[in-house]
Structure 1
Amino acid sequence: MNDSGPVSDLIVDANWLADNLLDSSIRIIDTRVGFEPRPPGPSNFFQMKEEFLKSHIPGSTYFHMVDDLSDPEGLFAFAMPHQSKIWKLLSLAGINNQQTIILYGNAVTSSTHRCWWVLKNAGVQDVRLLDINFEQWTELDLPVESGESRFPVSDFNGGPEEHWTATKQDVINSLDDPTVKLVNSLSAEQFIGQGQHYGRPGRIPGSISVPATELIDFSSGKFREWEAISSIFELAGAHKQDKLITYCGGGIAASTTFFALHVLGFSNLSLYDGSLLEWGEDPDLPLELD
């Protein structure tokens, strides 16, 4: 992919993409999902393949966060799948690891960030986000098409896994480690134990609060100004020398927070994949309430 256009390291300008849709070094993935909360358990992120077939960015392939990029046999909802599943999925889609993958979604923005995190965690070399969602793309009257593009099957060979996943034991160990900070990505209401919860209300002890909703405009899919986002983390107590573990209800909102921290240059990062869906199931594990 030629980076001479207005493309950041991880976020791609929509007009630039519209001008480069025929570039064979780029592959575009549509990650749109519908959303239905189902407290006190995991929310329902349902497929939008029919909507994709009616209209999408030209050349896109559809991946579903749950069916394609989660482990159906995992110990908790939305669990990170094995690397081999990701590589097979990409091979069947005709994608190779020399191509740049650009993801876009809809107003359920965190699901797109989750797809980015899963792909990168599985050793996919170059994965980026479109700077706006599909609704904004159509409002700008940028190109769309219907149907489904077909590509020859490839033999995807990725790199080593990023090891961006924190386990339940990692989080337990962090409770007595002052060098580790847990970043709760849920709403301020959920942080204090109110509103929707995931089995048991509350937060993991010692957590700091950085709601994913404060980092992004969910109507457009755009992140806020990065200087403002940096200030949000600083005021919450997250610093670049810290080891940070992001979490939420099921690892979705935490992917938004993780992505933002990664863009800002935080390097000692992981995401608690099981999040409160796993933590809350164990009555022996503590949760704080206000």
Structure 2
Amino acid sequence: MDTAPRYAFPEAIVSTEWLAANLHDPALRVFDCTTYLLYETGTGRPYRVGSGRPDYEAGHIPGSAFLDLQGELSDSASRFNFTMPAAEDLAARFAAKGIGRGTRVVLYARKSLQWATRVWWMLRAVGFDDAAILDGGFDRWAAEGRPTETGETRYPPASLTAHPRPGLFIGKDEVKAAIGDDGACTINALAPDLHRGENPRYGRPGRIPGSVNVPAAALLDPQALTIRPPEAVAASFAAVGADPSKRILLYCGGGIAATLDAFLLHQLGYRNIAVYDASMSEWAKDESLPIEQG
């Protein structure tokens, strides 16, 4: 019996070859999800959010539209970047962009897949499951010399009814309650220096007590930006004690990188996965919450 790790939902990871062959499918909706974090010092904030729209307009996959995560798909009333809106509100925003019943969605990004997986996790949270990530993103598409176009594509509005999965995003109280719980595994998707507390980017340096580190970047090939094979990804999670029988809580700086870990855990068959939406942007600044270093 073959017990080797595999990705349980291969239809949710599409290749550049597949996308090139299916671009003319009238049901297909392709989106560039690129956002940039522009790191700053001396400003009191960890980064400035930069839209990927200028790069999209300069050249994108033919027929693809643009999703502005911060400007169009986040709760503008929140004091944190990228906060998940209410499910019904978010479903309406997705529908206005052309995502809904009868459509097949492919999401891509530049420089990192985490922006595409963030939107994928948000779609899953409102009950839309016919979405996929472009493996390697725009970088792989461009490296292969595939065609691009300029300007902007807009899809006609669609119909999308929210069927919320509220457990996919959680807040600080649930994360705090999981500290010391043997039935839970809390994973930090940030870089190792942030996990160890050597970088004060988000405020108080350090990590959520008891959490372990599986950096999102380590789950991708560093050159091609493609997803690493299932056996390598499974080994990364097994090495930190992320057993499928446990509840897995994921965090990062602002709920973005954590979705790449979450997406791949879902692919590996984990069933109880949650992303802490505000992550260290909230935790590191709240003096009432515990933090550890080292």
TM-score (norm 1): 0.91
Q: 1:26 aligns with which of 12, 22, 28?
A: 28
Map of 2:119 onto structure 1 = 115
Instruction: Please show how residues 176-215 of structure 1 align to structure 2 within 5 Å.
Output: 176-215=180-219
Q: 1:17 aligns with which of 16, 19, 39?
A: 19
Counterpart contact for 1:125–1:159, Cα < 8 Å: no
Q: Secondary structure at the match of 2:163?
A: coil
Q: Is 1:265 equivalent to 2:269 in the alignment?
A: yes
Of stretches 137-146 and 206-215 in structure 1, the one that deviates more from structure 2 is 137-146
Map of 1:231 onto structure 2 = 235
Structure 2: distance between partners of 1:191 and 1:134: 29
Counterpart contact for 1:109–1:218, Cα < 8 Å: no
| Cα 1:153–1:77 shift into 2, 3 Å | closer
The offset of 1:99, in angstroms, is 1.3
Structure 2: distance between partners of 1:63 and 1:47: 10
Q: 1:281 aligns with which of 258, 280, 285?
A: 285
Instruction: Please show how residues 90-239 of structure 1 align to structure 2 within 5 Å.
Output: 90-239=94-243
Q: Is 1:84 equivalent to 2:88 in the alignment?
A: yes
Residue type of the partner of 1:245?
L
Residue type of the partner of 2:24?
L
Residue type of the partner of 2:239?
L
Superposed CA RMSD in Å reads: 1.8
Structure 1, gaps ≥5 residues long: 1-6
Counterpart contact for 2:175–2:276, Cα < 8 Å: yes
The offset of 1:75, in angstroms, is 4.1
Counterpart contact for 1:90–1:156, Cα < 8 Å: yes
Q: 1:72 aligns with which of 67, 72, 76?
A: 76
| Cα 1:252–1:150 shift into 2, 3 Å | closer
Structure 2: distance between partners of 1:223 and 1:267: 20
Deviations 1:121-157 (A, max 9, x none): 1222311100112122022122322222233322322
Q: Is 1:50 equivalent to 2:54 in the alignment?
A: yes
Deviations 1:70-123 (A, max 9, x none): 111124222111223322222222332321110001003322221211222122
Structure 2: distance between partners of 1:195 and 1:174: 24
Residue type of the partner of 2:65?
T
Structure 2, gaps ≥5 residues long: 1-8
Q: Secondary structure at the match of 1:217?
A: coil
Counterpart contact for 2:62–2:149, Cα < 8 Å: yes
Counterpart contact for 2:180–2:210, Cα < 8 Å: no
The offset of 1:193, in angstroms, is 0.4
The offset of 1:263, in angstroms, is 0.9
Q: Secondary structure at the match of 1:78?
A: coil
| Cα 1:247–1:150 shift into 2, 3 Å | closer
Q: Secondary structure at the match of 2:160?
A: coil
Structure 1: distance between partners of 2:101 and 2:165: 13
TM-score (norm 2): 0.90
Structure 2: distance between partners of 1:160 and 1:49: 29
The offset of 1:25, in angstroms, is 2.0
